[in-house]
Structure 1
């Protein structure tokens, strides 16, 4: 992006919802992009998600650890090619834990709930699921809640490629009040605590805004979650 008059700062959008700009270094972004390209290959690769009402999501998705489908989790790509879901790598879980520590800051006490780490062990969540969504220029994501997990651990969201408008709402409805946040390549967004069940979506992609050196046309969003489910 072009030089700006004011730097983008870490911002608490709502209680428990934090935006950290430029969290991923350019090198780390390239590493994540290459990993996403491998995960997107068959079997259990990138697919179009179909909703129970017969519609389709405009973003395409691949899952790690457990396969998400509307509205639950499975060990195989039940709405795709039926292959076993790709494993969730340990390094990605550590990245998620570091994201939580950095977003919430050292010294703050976050209520981890029964799926969190030991008392005082900040960021010790056992992340075991990743949903990777690919957005082309025309893709969108309607307002929704991440409510299929049995854990209240924070959701970690990482952005690669084109910038987007990320709409972060309230826990009561899909409507106002909400806040629109521009997420760019390398940005981190974490939401947990009082905001864990907030509605959120992506109403707009800004095509052509990805860093040229990344080599990506479109947007990738990697969300990390703690399932809270028994081992498959």
Structure 2
């Protein structure tokens, strides 16, 4: 069984320590335990446009299963909040994988105020972003909608073997809210009628027990295991996945 998996840094288990495996590892382990020989091809991208670019160059008809994770770049691009105002993500570096980028490509990191000022700052940013969405002035949201439509159009001929994961939660309120906006695009009825869409929020919530201590946007080992096991259960039950029948027969 040949599986293609593409998504953000979670695919490679970013931030996990030696001996810990990502949700992909848990998912593949579960499939292997059914007795099937499995080969995996994985790619990491931080934007949907990057995912589309890679998929458009691959022989999708040769895979038995395609798993697409709508990752961190779905709406909250790692280049920071300023990226929300950029319409075309081709203008932004695709900060994916664990590559060490040169300083001039690194996102600008400012020292945040502490205590009450920090909370007020975060609240102000969240209110600003919500206001921009309310008046239809958040370009990134329109870009992501276009990127997702383009991606799903590419995958549509193979939809019987595709699982799409909604964006994982984030512990920071503003990014969690943004990811919820991205999730709403994945959970639209027209998407779920054509594709098997895995709702990540139904498995992990934005609480500290599921996330790495110093990386509030990345799942820890517990979060990865929960997602991997739940994804396998979803895979077995997904009505559009043709490949599951051979597992059930075995």
Do both proteins adopt the same fold according to a TM-score greater than 0.5, normalized to the shorter chain?
no
Compare the two structures and name the one with the higher strand fraction: 1
Q: Which has the larger radius of gyration?
A: 2
TM-score by length of 1: 0.26
TM-score by length of 2: 0.24
